[in-house]
Amino acid sequence: MENITSAADIKNAIRFLETDQEVKGQLLRAQFNQTFESLKPANMLKSAVREISSSPFLLTNIAGAAAGLATGYFSKRVVFGASKNILKRSLGIALQFGITNLIARHPDDIASYAQGLLERLFHKKVPAPDKP
């Protein structure tokens, strides 16, 4: 600020500082209200769901884990069925755990392998052209 030499300058400086204080107070209140709204449990839940649904990496991981769980469960059922034998049930749980972890950790590799396998199974063979 400049040096104040008269009463009019003092009044102008006071008005300027009061206006500045009022503007900063309004900004502070607006920021407080915004923070208060964002900390409400419903708004926190909404923002968490929004972040989860917008993250493609997380959705890919969830899809891979779900595929792993489903594949592990069905492989256990196919190999061991609904056996009452404790040894078979234990082996079934181990098989389910192993397949679930394998597929959950490498979903892209498993998908590309399955895609290649399906292409080989259902691909029409083109006869080689006769050479003269």
Residues 116, 73 share a domain: yes
Residue range of the domain that includes 34: 10-54
Please indicate, yes or no, if residue 129 is contained in any of the structural domains.
no
Question: pLDDT tens for residues 68-92?
Answer: 788 888 888 888 787 788 888 888 8
Q: Percentage of residues in the chain with pLDDT exceeding 70?
A: 92
Residues 82, 100 share a domain: yes
Please indicate, yes or no, if residue 127 is contained in any of the structural domains.
no
In sequence order, what are the residues at sequence separation of 6 or more whose Cβ sits closer than 8 angstroms to the Cβ of residue 19?
none
Please indicate, yes or no, if residue 1 is contained in any of the structural domains.
no
Task: Using a cut of 0.75, tell me whether the model's pTM lies above it.
Answer: no
Banded pLDDT at 2 (limits 50, 70, 90):
confident
Class of residue 103 by CB neighbours under 10 A (exposed 0-12, middle 13-18, buried 19+): buried
Q: For the chain, what is the mean pLDDT?
A: 83
In sequence order, what are the residues at sequence separation of 6 or more whose Cβ sits closer than 8 angstroms to the Cβ of residue 16?
none
Please indicate, yes or no, if residue 108 is contained in any of the structural domains.
yes
Residue 128 has pLDDT above 70, yes or no: no
3-state secondary structure of 74: helix
C-alpha–C-alpha distance, residues 82 and 74, integer Å: 11
Residues 96, 112 share a domain: yes
Residue 54 has pLDDT above 90, yes or no: no
Q: How many domains does the chain have?
A: 2
Residues 107, 60 share a domain: yes
Banded pLDDT at 41 (limits 50, 70, 90):
confident
Residues 100, 61 share a domain: yes
Residues 116, 71 share a domain: yes
Please indicate, yes or no, if residue 17 is contained in any of the structural domains.
yes
Residues 111, 66 share a domain: yes
Residues 50, 81 share a domain: no
